[in-house]
A = this chain, B = another copy of it.
């Protein structure tokens, strides 16, 4: 069974067959389909369920009073959309899809049970939350101290690594159907400027980005331009084990 949630968490810890079966059951029991540009959960909303993204691409975002949008994080298969909702009254931001997507719905009570166990699963859930914090901090570093080229390079490289981790690709190409406006909203730039920087990347033959596919033709240069250091993703087991997917991730983060 293809379970990106398990694949992601297994970058942190190994599961037993029983644990894997249990997690498979959880994500199978109640699923929900979304179209593109639909809210998985709206700003200010509450829900009795947490959502795990299974397929597609989503993002966390906020809309400012003047209508501008800031994308604070991209979500790839295996990511938890709203871990906070089982403890907080309301969302302080929205999660929306960028492409048609599927989520698994996990009831708050089940989340609480999972978290309170002294098990690899609860530790992996904590690890996921801590990794989310790390990704946000890295984005702050981007926005505060890196120029537009470095920012875009970092973001694109990070997406490639995370797609590898989720098992969505094993090559240097990913399905990345975002508009330049989306990239602008994520990097704090204007669409025009994203366009100009992407063109430079293409001229320099670092990437191809067309018809919704991103191909990184020169990963080493993209990584170094973006000053990418994978420490903040805490992919602890990636170097140690010999899974095909992980050793391939290892190529990227080595």
Binding site for B on A (CB under 8 A): 44, 60, 62, 64-65, 68, 70, 72, 83-84, 87-90, 92-93, 112, 115-118, 122-123, 126-127, 129-130, 132-134, 136-137, 139-141, 143-146, 185-188, 227, 231-232, 234, 236
Contact = CB atoms under 8 A, between A and B. Distances in A.
Nearest to A142: B143
Given A87-B123, A87-B130, A92 B141 contact: no
A14 to B, nearest CB: 15
A49 to B, nearest CB: 16
Contacts of A227: 64-65
Q: Is the interface of A mostly helix, strand, loop or mixed?
A: helix
A130 B93 CA distance: 12
Contacts of A185: 144
Nearest to A127: B87
9 contacts: A44-B231, A64-B227, A70-B141, A92-B232, A92-B234, A116-B117, A132-B133, A143-B143, A145-B188
A122 B117 CA distance: 12
A194 to B, nearest CB: 13
Contacts of A65: 227
A237 to B, nearest CB: 11
Contacts of A134: 84, 92-93
Contact of A130 (B88, B122, B136): B88
B140 A139 contact: yes
Contacts of A116: 116-118, 122
Contacts of A234: 88-89, 92
Contacts of A118: 112, 116
Contacts of A186: 144
Nearest to A141: B70
A92 B141 CA distance: 12
Nearest to A189: B144
